[in-house]
Structure 1
Amino acid sequence: MQATILDVSGHKAQPLAIDAAISFETFISYLKQRISEEPTVKARLYKEALAEFEASDVGRRDIPLEEITQYTSLLEYVYACLSPATRPEQQLVWGLSYPFLPVTFYGTDLIYELLGNKSASHTYEITHTPADYHRERLALIYSLILQRLYNFKAPVKTEQYHEGVNTATGLLQYYEVSINTDFIKVTAKGELPEIDFVQLYTHFSEGGGEEILADMLPLDLFCFRGFCVINVMEVTAQKAVENITGMRLSRTSLITEENYKQVILSLKSLVRDSRIEFDLFPFLRVNNNPVYSFEKGGTGILFEVWGESRLSPEDFSRNAKAFMSKPLFFFSEDIWKETRKEYAFLEYFRQQGVKSLAIMPLFYMGEPVGAFAVHTWKDHTFDEKTLSLLEPALDAVAQLLQIYIDEFNGEIEKVIKEKFTSIQPAVQWKFNEAAWHYLYRLKKNQPATISNILFKEVYPLYGAIDIRNSTLERNKAIIADLDSHLSILANTLDMLRKYQQNDLLREMIYHCQRWQQALVQQQLSPSDENALNRFLEEEAVNYLQHIAAQYPATGETIETCLQSMAGNVNKDSLEVSMQLITQTANEYLESEKNKLQESYPCYFEKFRTDGVEYDIYIGQSIAPDRPFNHFHLKNLRLWQLSSMVAITKLTHSLIARMEKELFTTQLIFVHNHPIDISFRADERKFDVEGAYNIRYQMIKKRIDKVHIRNTEERLTQPDKIALIYSDRADIEDYLPFIRYLQETGVLLPELEELELEDLQGLSGLKALRLGVVVEEAE
C-alpha cells in the first residue's frame, strides 16, 4: 500500500472552486452502522477500526491533503474494511481520492502503477482533454447533490475508462475506473433553489445537464466532506467488442484498410496475442449467386485460397454455395499434421505458410453472412481456449459483415439507378449482372463499360387510353379564356375613357378589338397566340398599372380586371377533368401491375400523355429460369382486353364529376411475332432492336389518329375498344375472349371488322371495334 499524493489526470484538470476537504466523519458513521448490523466476526474488525478513529480524534475535523500521509494507519483500516477479502492486495487496483479532484492519496501499488503510468509492462496515453475532465467532474458533483439533497437520480455514469498499450505485445488494454462517492457528505449552506426536474432530466439525457445546473445551483452553495473510493478493473474484452460494435453502429464501410486494421487490432487484443491473425470473408451474392468480394479483410488468406487467383467465377460460386448450404466449423492446431482426404484443401493454406487454422461460419439473423478465419504463420500455434475468447465478438463481427453486404448491394442499386432507370423486378436480374460486371472491372482498374441489356424474342403488347379530341378541347379552352380576358380588358378600357382621352388609350382599344376579331374568325396561329399573350400579360398589364398610379380612383376597377385576367377558368377546368381521367386510369394499371407477374414475369412500362399508354413485354428471355409457353401470352392478352373494358367503364363513370365533359378511346395494337428489345441508356427506357422490329414501333406511333379506309371517321371512338392488326392470324387469341365478354354482357354484341387507311410507309392494317356496355352517369 502507498500513501502518495498523485494527480491521475496528468495535470490536465481545470481548477474547480468548491468547498471540499478530506474527512472521516462519514466513514465513522458507516463503521457504527456496520457494527450494529454485522452478526459475524467482521464486527470485530469494524469495532477495532472505530476505536482507532475515535482515539485519533479525527471524526469532525477536516484533514488537509498535504497532511494525509500522517494518517497511514487509519487509511489501512479504511482499506481493510472496504476492499474485497477474497483478493490479495497485489491483485487489487484500489485507492482513495480527494473529493471531486483527480488526486489519489492512498491505494494499492497496482493503482499507482496504472494511473501513474509507471508499470514496467504498460504505458498509458491520457486521452482526456481538460474540458473532458471538467465536464465529468461537474456531472459527478451534481449527480451527488441531486441525489442527496433533492432525492433525484441523474442519468450520469460514475465510471471512466483508461486506454493503455501493452509494450510487450503492442496490443490495447482497457481499464474501467469506477468512483464511489458513498463516503462524501454534502451539505447546503443556505436554502435550496427549486428545480424543474422534467426539464433537467431532458438536458441530462442530451448530455447538457451540467451547464443548466451551473446556473441553477452554483457550487459555492455547498460543502463536500469525505473521500472517494476508486476501483479499477480490466475490461479489455468488453471494450474490444464495443469497438467492433461501434464501427457497426456507425455503418462505417469496411472497404477501407484503416477500418480493417481497427477490427483486427480489437480481435488481437481480445485473444491477447499479436501473433494470431484474422481474416474476414463476406458472402456476396448477385441474383443469389455467390461472387467475389472486392476487398481483402485482414490477412486476405481466405481471398487467396478462395478468390479469383485460384478459382474461376463458376468454381467459386459452386464452392461457396456448397459451404453456405452446409456451413461447418474447422479447427486444427497444426494443419501440417492433417492427412485425411477430406482435408486436401489445406494444401492451399500450407502454401501460404499457415500453421494453426480455424474457419468459422458467421451468421446474421440465422443466415450465413461470411467466413471468419483465425490462423498463425510458421511455428506459432493456438488452441481451443484462444478460440473461446473470441466468442463475445462473433455476433458483432457477423453484423459488421452484414453491413458490408448491405453496402455492396447498395452499390449495385446505385449503379442501376445511375446508369439505367427505375428497374422493375421482372428484369432486375439482368441489370444486377451488368452492374456487377461493371463494378468488378472498375475495382480491377480495367476499362469499365456497361454491357448492353438485351432481351431476345419477347412478345409485345401495346395499349393506349386517350382522351377524345384532347388537343381540340385544349385549343377551345385556351381561346375561350383569351376571349374572356379580352372582353374584360375591353370593358375596363372603355371605362377609362372617363379619365383619359389620348392616343395611347385609343391604341390599346384598337389592339383589343383586333384580337377579338381574330378569335372570332379562329385565325390564331401559334405565333399569334404568343403575341396575344404578350399583349395581355405585358402591354395591357403595364398600361393598366400606369393608369392606376395616375388616377387612384381607377385602382379598384383595374385591380379587379387584373385578377380576372390572371386566371384561366376554361383551361383549368379542362386540366382538372383530364387529370381525373389519367389519374384514374393510371391508378387502375398500377393496382393491376403486380397481378400480371403472378402467372409469368413480364416487363410493364407506362407513359403519361394526354391519357395513358403502356408497353408490355413477355417471353422466355425475361425469366430464363421459368419455362414459358403460349398460355402465358394468352393469359396476358385476356387481361389486356378485360382491363380496357374496366378502364372504359371507370372513365365513363367520371363524367358526372368532371368540370368539362370528356370521353376516352381505347386502343390495342396486336403484334403476334416476337421482337428483340434493348435498354437505351440515353433515354432510360427499353426500345425495339433490329431493322425488322422497327416496323412495330413505327405502327405504334402512327395509329393513334388513323381513319377507316375511304372515310373521314376516326377508328378510335368514345366508349369503344379498337384492336389494330395486320393479319387475321394475329387476333385468333382475342376472338374467344371477345365472344366470352359479349356473352357475359360486358361488351356489346356488335363486332365491326374494318380496313384502315394507308399511313406513311404502312398499308394493309385492319381493325376490330367493340362497344363497351357502360352505365350512363346520373
Structure 2
Amino acid sequence: MKSEKLIHDLKINSFLDFNLLFDQWEKLSDKLNPNTCLYHDLLTRMKAYPGLSKFPVEREDVTKDENKLGFGLILSSLFPLSGQEENRILGMSKPFDYNPIYCTPAFKKEFLTADGEVKVPFNLDQEKIFFHKMLQIYSLILDQLYRIKINEIYPLVFKIPSSEGFTRHYQIQMNTQFVKVVPKVPLPDIRSKEEFCTSNQPNHYDVEKWMELLPLDLFEFHGFILMEAQDLTVAQSVATLNEAVLNQEQVSPEAFMEIVEDSVKSLLAKSGLKVGLAVLQTINGRMVMTESRLAYSYLIKQLCGEGCESSYQAVLELLSNVEKPIFLNDLDVAREKLPLGVKINEMGVKEIILYPLKHNGDLVGVLEVCSFEEQTFDPMMLVTLDYLAPSLSLALNRQAEVLDQKIKSIIRKNFTAIHPVVEWKFDEIALDYVLEEEEGGNPEMKQIVFNEVYPLYAAVDVKNSSIERNNAIHDDFQIQLTLAKEVLAKAKGVHFLPLLDRLIDQIEQFEKRINLILVSEEEVKITDFFHFELEPAFNYLKENFIDLKEPVKAYFDALDPKLGVVNQHRKAFEQSLAKINQAIGTFLDQEETKVQKMFPHYFEKFKTDGIEYNIYIGQSLVKDEKFDPLYLKNLRLWQLQNLIETVHLVESQKQQLEHPLEVTQLILAHSNPIAISFRLDERKFDVEGAYNIRYEIIKKRIDKALVKGTRERLNQPGKIAIVYSQQKEAREYLDFIEFLQNKDLLTKDVEELELEEMQGVYGMKAIRVTVKEKAQENPEIFSKLIAEGEKG
C-alpha cells in the first residue's frame, strides 16, 4: 500500500450478530421433518438466551454464565460434535476482527501467545495481511450490494512458530457466509463496473482505488466469521526447500542449511535437532571431500577436527555404504556397526537418522539428523523424510554438477579439446586445482606427463603435392595471360594506344619466365600485374570503346569472382586434394573407433597435403585397465592393414578426381617407449626428454628420405614404406608382411633399403612393400566417405 497510515488508522464498523444464523435456522426448520426438526428445537431453546439474540452482541456476552449454554448451542450447530473438535484448529470472531471470541485448544496453542494475542507470522508483513483483508471486505461489498463478483481470493499461508520450537505452516480459510454488509448512507454510483474490478489475479486489484470510491466508514458489517486452519507443514516445507534448491547459487551454505534444518524439524515435528548433509561425490574413483565442502555436514565436521584422518575415513566409509535409511537409537549397542559410537556419545548425540540421497540411482549424499535426547525418533520418521529426499538429492546433485563444470571449465581454458582416453588425467589435475582454490590457496597448474608410452606414426601424403599445385597455378596463369594478350591485340588493331604495346610485352616476358620456373616471388608479381595494371586498363577500354566491351567482359567472366584470377586448374587440384583428405580422414576415424575397443589409446591426426597421425599406447594413459604388449603388436598390424585399405580406396576412385593425384604411405617403427607431456603454451602433447626429441626429428625428416646411393624418393605410390632403426623392429614388420602376403594383400616383392643421411638423422633403414591391386571398388564408397568427412 502507498501509505502505512491507512493500515494503522483504518476503522471497520464490525458488530457481532447471530441473527443471520438464526434466520438460516428458521428457513431450515420443519418440526415434522426428522432431518430438519433440530433447527426448530434450536430456535425454541435459544429463546431462553435473549442476550445472544440482541444486536449487537458484545464480546463479554458470550462468556456470561446465563449465556454459556446458548453459545454452546450456536457452536454445536456450526462445528458438529465428532469427538475430534479439540484437535481441529477452529475459531470465531467478529467480522474481519481476527481476535477470536471463541477458539479450540488447538487454535489457541498454534495462533495465540500466552497473553492471548495473535502471533505474527514469520512470512507475512502488515501490508500483505492488510491487503488480503481488504480483498475479503470489498469482495463482500461488491457481491452483496453491487452484484459484482471478483475472482476467488486464495487463503494466505501463515508460517507460525510452534510452542515446541519448530515452524508450522497453516492455510486459514475464512468463512464469511454469516456476514451482512449494511450501508449507512445511500450507495454511491460506481460507473464502468468492468473497469472498476477488471483483473486476472486478485492481487492485481487496486484496493486503494476501492477505498477512495467506497470508504469503509460508509458500511457496517454484522455477523461473525468462522476460521479453520489446515496444516500445510509437509507441503510447504517441501515447497520452501524446492525454492531454496532452485536458487541454490544465490543462497549461502549457512542459509541453505538453516532452511534444510527448519524443514526437517517441521516435518518431524521435533525441535532441538541438528541436521547436516554429507555430500558424497566421486570423480575417477576418488571421494571428493575438503573442509569447505563439509559446510553442509554436521556429523563429519564434528567428528573430524584437526588430525582425525582415521575418524574422517571411518565416517566416509560408513556414509558411502548407506543404501537404505538407518535409524540408530542405541549407540552403545551400535558400536559394532558404527566404530565412531564413542566419539558420537562424547558429542552428546543420543539418536541418529542416516538417510541416503540418490539421484538417478547414484548415491550423492546422506542426510544426517541427530538428536540429543533419547526416544526422539521412531522408524515411521524415515518414511516422513521421503517427502524431502527428492529435493535434497537434486541439491546435492547440482553441487556435483557445479564442481564438474568447474573442472570442465579449467580443462577447456587450459587444455582445449581433450582426447577421451586421457580426459581422466586432466580431470584429476583440474580437480586438485579447484579444491585448492576453494580452500583459499593460490594453485598452479601441474604438468601433465605420461611416461612409458609407445608411439606409432603413419602418413598418407599426396605425391609431389607442391609440384602439382605449382603446375596448376602455372596452367591458370598461362590461360589468363593468353586471354589478356588476345584482348590487347584486338584493342591494338583498332585503336592507337602506345600503352598496349607495353602491356603485351610484359605478358610475353611473364610467359617466358613461368615456362622456365614458377617461384612464389614470380607468382606474386604476376598476380599484382593482373590486379593493378591489367584490370584498370581493361576497365578503361570497356568504358571508352564500345567495340572492346564484349572482349573485356569475356576476359573478366573467365576469372574467379573472389580471387580475381583464372582458377580452373588450381581449384580442381584443391578440390581433389580436399576429397582425398576427407575420404582418408573419415575412413581412418571409422577404423580407429573400432580399434579403440581393443584397448584405449591416444589418437590424433593432422591434415596437411595428406593425412598424418600419432598414436600413443601404454599403461600410464589408462586408469582402470591393464596394458599388455600384445595390444601394441595388434595396433601395429592394424596400422599396416589400414594403409593397405587406404591404397585400395584412393587407387580405385581416381576417376572421380578432377585433378589426378597419387598418394604415398609411410610408417615409422619405434619400439622404445617415450614420455609425452602436455604443453600449456601450445595446448598440445609433445615428447619429453632429449632422447625422445630425436623421435620427433625423425618424423619430420623421413617424408623426404632418399634411398641410399640414388636420387629415388623412398615414398612411392602404391607402396608402403616402413622406416626403422633397430633390427627387432624390422623382424616384427617382416612377420606382419608375410602374414599379409598370405592374405593376398601384398605382392611377394619386399625391398630392404638403407636411407641417405638426413639433417640430424642417420643410420635409418626401411622396408618397402607393394600393395597388391584389388578389384574395382564400388564408386559410391569414396563419395560416401567424402560426404561424411564434410559433415564432420
Q: TM-score, normalized by length of structure 2?
A: 0.72
Partner of 2:188: none
Q: Distance in 2 between matches of 1:702 and 1:677?
A: 20
Q: CA deviation at 1:561?
A: 4.4
Q: Distance in 2 between matches of 1:734 and 1:445?
A: 55
Q: Verify: 1:633 aligned to 2:632, yes or no.
A: yes
- Alpha carbons of 1:121 and 1:405: their partners in 2 closer, same or farther (altered >3 Å)? same
List aligned pairs for 1:21-40, cutoff 5 A: none
Aligned match for 2:261, one of 260, 264, 270: 264
Q: Measure the CA separation in 2 of the matches of 1:11 and 1:498.
A: 103
Q: Which moved more, 1:465-474 or 1:696-705?
A: 465-474
| 2:532 maps to 1:533 | no
Please state if 1:521 is matched with 2:515: yes
Residue pairs, 1:667-706, within 5 angstroms = 667-706=666-705
Contact 2:277–2:365 (Cα < 8 Å) also in 1: yes
Q: CA deviation at 1:332?
A: 4.4
Match of 1:305 in 2: 303
Cα contact 1:277–1:299 (8 A) shared by 2: no
Question: What is the distance in 2 between the residues matched to 1:492 and 1:704?
Answer: 45
The answer on 1:370 being equivalent to 2:369 is no
CA distance in 1, matches of 2:762, 2:462: 26
What letter matches 2:460 in structure 1? I
Q: How far apart are the structure 2 equivalents of 1:491 and 1:112?
A: 110
Hey, what does 2:729 align to over in structure 1? 730
Q: What's the secondary structure of 1:123's corresponding residue? A: coil
Number of residue equivalences? 702
AA aligned opposite 1:267? V
- Structure 1 Cα separation of the partners of residues 513 and 228 of structure 2: 95
- 2:276 aligned with 1:279, yes or no? yes
Q: Decide which of 214, 222, 232 is 1:235's aligned counterpart.
A: 232
AA in 1 matched with 2:464: N
Deviation at 1:459, TM superposition (A): 1.4
Q: Matches of residues 150-165 of structure 1 in structure 2 within 5 Å?
A: 159=154, 161-165=156-160
Aligned-partner SS, 1:733: helix
Task: Decide whether the 8 Å contact of 1:327 with 1:361 is kept in 2.
Answer: yes
Q: Does 1:320 align with 2:319?
A: no
Q: Which residue of 482, 500, 503 corresponds with 1:509?
A: 503
Whole-Å separation in 1 of the counterparts to 2:761 and 2:597: 36
Q: What secondary structure is seen at the aligned counterpart in 1 of 2:704?
A: coil
Q: What CA distance in whole angstroms lies between the structure 1 residues aligned with 2:230 and 2:437?
A: 49
Residue 730 of structure 1, CA deviation:
0.9
Change (3 A) 1:339 1:322: closer
The CA distance in 1 between the partners of 2:240 and 2:750, in whole Å, is 75
**Structure 1: runs of 5+ lacking an equivalent:** 1-8, 13-23, 52-65, 142-155, 184-203, 212-226
Alpha-carbon offset, residue 758 of structure 1 = 0.9
Q: Which letter maps to 2:259?
A: Q
Corresponding residue to 1:295 among 271, 285, 293: 293
1:399 maps to what in 2? 394
Name the structure 2 match of 1:774.
774
Letter in 2 for 1:259: F
Cα deviation code 1:676-699 (max 9, x no counterpart): 222222222222111111111111
CA distance in 1, matches of 2:120, 2:744: 91
Distance 1:745 1:250, change over 3 A: farther
Separation in structure 2 between the aligned mates of residue 181 and residue 497 of structure 1, nearest angstrom: 108
Taking the aligned partners of 2:295 and 2:249, their CA distance within structure 1 comes to 14
Q: Distance in 2 between matches of 1:165 and 1:663?
A: 85
Q: What RMSD in Å do the two structures reach over aligned CA positions? A: 5.7
Distance 1:712 1:181 in 2: 109
Is 1:678–1:687's contact at 8 Å kept on the other side of the alignment? yes
Residue 661 of structure 1 corresponds to: 660
- Measured against aligned partners, the alpha-carbon deviations of 1:496-522 in whole angstroms (never above 9, x if no partner) come to 66998656x638835862674266335
SS at match of 2:760: coil
Match 1:410 to one of 405, 414, 430? 405
Aligned CA distance change for structure 1 residues 510 and 176 (closer, same or farther; 3 Å):
farther
TM-score (ref. length: structure 1) = 0.73
Cα-to-partner distance string for 1:354-408 (whole Å, 9 max, x where unaligned): 454333333333332222211246x698322794443311232123222222322
Which letter maps to 2:263? S
Deviation digits for residues 413-461 of structure 1 (CA, Å, limit 9, x no counterpart)? 3222322232333323322322222222222223412222222222111
Q: Take 1:507 and 1:319, find their aligned partners in 2: how far apart are those partners?
A: 96
Alignment-derived partner of residue 450 in structure 2: 455
1:214: which partner in 2?
none
Distance in 1, matches of 2:233 and 2:590, equals: 56
Query: Equivalent residue of 1:617, what SS?
Result: strand
Once the two structures are TM-superposed, the CA of residue 557 in structure 1 deviates from its matched residue by 6.5
Any idea what SS the aligned residue of 2:682 has? coil
**What is aligned with 2:353?**
358
Q: Secondary structure at the match of 1:475?
A: helix
Per-residue deviation, 1:316: 5.5
Q: Which runs of 5+ in 2 are unaligned?
A: 8-18, 45-55, 63-71, 140-150, 179-199, 206-223, 780-792
Contact 1:676 1:693 in 2 (8 A): yes
- Distance of 1:399 and 1:582 partners within structure 2: 47
SS of the counterpart of 1:718? coil
Q: What letter matches 1:517 in structure 2?
A: E
- Aligned-pair CA distance for 1:768: 1.2
Deviations 1:121-164 (A, max 9, x none): 3425447999x989x99xxx9xxxxxxxxxxxxxx997455253
Rounded Cα–Cα distance in structure 2 between residues aligned with 1:318 and 1:606:
47
1:63-102 equivalent positions in 2, closer than 5 A: 86=82, 88=85, 91-92=88-89
SS at match of 2:282: strand
Q: Note closer, same or farther for the CA distance 1:233–1:498 as it changes in structure 2 (3 Å cut).
A: farther
Q: 1:487 to 1:246 in 2, by over 3 A?
A: farther
Which residue of 434, 442, 445 maps to 2:440?
A: 445
Aligned AA for 2:702?
I
- Are the structure 2 counterparts of residues 380 and 711 from structure 1 closer, same or farther at C-alpha, using a change threshold of 3 Å? same
Taking the aligned partners of 1:722 and 1:676, their CA distance within structure 2 comes to 25
The correspondence for 2:378, drawn from 380, 384, 399, is: 384
